[in-house]
Amino acid sequence: MKYILIRDDDANFFTRPEMLEEVYGFIFENNIPINFAIIPAVNGAAKTESLYFGAGSPEPFLPAGIADEDKQFPITGNPDLLQFLNSLKRKEFLLHGLEHAGKSGKYEFESEDKNVIEDKLVKGVNIFEKAFGAAPETFVAPQDKYSKAALTLIKSRFKTLSLGWVDSSRIPFGLYCRYLQMKLTGRNYICDGKFLITEHPGCMFSKFMDINEMSRILDEYIAAHQITVIVAHHWEFFENGILNRDLINAFRRKITGLMNECEFLTFSELRGKLFNF
Ligand SMILES: [Zn+2]
């Protein structure tokens, strides 16, 4: 059986529940589990280095009026969003950094300073617990970038790290053997004891991708792996507030097409399948 995990990134203080409903309503109706990577205290001055949006430009998930305000906005300040998310039947929440904002040209979790990373994790988990009533078990690094120090701390606090790909230059020496095993077996995940690191094929549902090409790449990836994490950004389905019909239809087609042949999971359910606990 193939396992599929749908992961939405970047839900934060400014996210409107209606946007999530428009994009993922069919997933909720079909009782398909979904994993939300939550930014606990997004910074209004968070920047992206993506060339698609223009390096150094405000993160596209921030509202135009707020961008550049160097201030944290805890998700606990948006009770409508929390009520919506917490009322969903089959969902799991993952920790997506603290404020999704880097410093000095580095992304948020690229710092090698253990104290800086520890402080971000403690604050992020604290807000997360207030919002969702339980501590997160899976971590998603903003922009998929992390330092060795961050990886060591994430491993000590979380059960899973969901990544784009494992960068061999950023893993501690102790994980290198597992990394080689993953490469040799053609897998896309590492089990280190009961710590799981998963890779994904990139964000396919983007206006910058050709829909047919994206569909072909995703089909090939699913055929080649037991586990596929499908990453989507709810905000990418909108252009100036208007839903991108072609993109959402492609997403719906792909997910509903996989319903008969794959099992959809949360990250904790995946750990249950792999580790049997
Ligand atoms: Zn993100």
All structural domains of the chain with their residue ranges: 2-275
Ligand 1 mean position to 12 CA, how many Å?
10
Mapped onto helix, strand or coil, the DSSP state of residue 137 is coil
Task: Give CA–CA dist 67/48, Å, rounded.
Answer: 12
Ligand 1 mean position to 1 CA, how many Å?
29
Ligand 1 mean position to 202 CA, how many Å?
12
| Neighbour count for residue 90 (Cβ, 10 Å) | 15
Ligand 1 mean position to 195 CA, how many Å?
22
Tell me whether residue 192 is exposed, middle or buried, using C-beta atoms within 10 angstroms of its C-beta: 0 to 12, 13 to 18, 19 or more. middle
> Residue 131 corresponds to which tokens in the numbers above?
């919002």
Ligand 1 mean position to 135 CA, how many Å?
19
Ligand 1 mean position to 175 CA, how many Å?
25
Tell me whether residue 241 is exposed, middle or buried, using C-beta atoms within 10 angstroms of its C-beta: 0 to 12, 13 to 18, 19 or more. exposed
Task: Give CA–CA dist 92/28, Å, rounded.
Answer: 13
Tokens 């790449």 sit at which residue? Answer: 217
Q: What dotted CATH number matches 2-275?
A: 3.20.20.370
**Per-residue pLDDT at 165:** 92
Task: Give CA–CA dist 121/32, Å, rounded.
Answer: 29
Ligand 1 mean position to 11 CA, how many Å?
9
154: Cβ–Cβ under 8 A, 6 or more apart, which residues?
Answer: 121, 139, 141, 146, 161
Ligand 1 mean position to 233 CA, how many Å?
8
Q: Judge contact between 152 and 197, C-beta under 8 A.
A: no
Amino acid (1-letter code) at residue 212: N
Ion ligand 1: residues, Cβ under 5 Å: 9-10, 142
**Per-residue pLDDT at 48:** 86
Task: Give CA–CA dist 254/55, Å, rounded.
Answer: 30
Residues of the chain with pLDDT under 70: 67, 277
Ligand 1 mean position to 234 CA, how many Å?
11
Q: Judge contact between 43 and 100, C-beta under 8 A.
A: yes
Ligand 1 mean position to 97 CA, how many Å?
8
Q: Judge contact between 98 and 133, C-beta under 8 A.
A: no
Q: Judge contact between 22 and 241, C-beta under 8 A.
A: no
Tokens 């979790």 sit at which residue? Answer: 109
Ligand 1 mean position to 96 CA, how many Å?
7
Ligand 1 mean position to 36 CA, how many Å?
11
Ligand 1 mean position to 236 CA, how many Å?
12
Amino acid (1-letter code) at residue 198: T
> Residue 159 corresponds to which tokens in the numbers above?
């059960």
Residue of 32, 21, 50, 7 lying closest to 262 (CA atoms): 32
Residue of 236, 197, 202, 232 lying closest to 218 (CA atoms): 202
44: Cβ–Cβ under 8 A, 6 or more apart, which residues?
Answer: 62, 66, 67, 68, 69, 70, 71, 73
**Per-residue pLDDT at 49:** 79
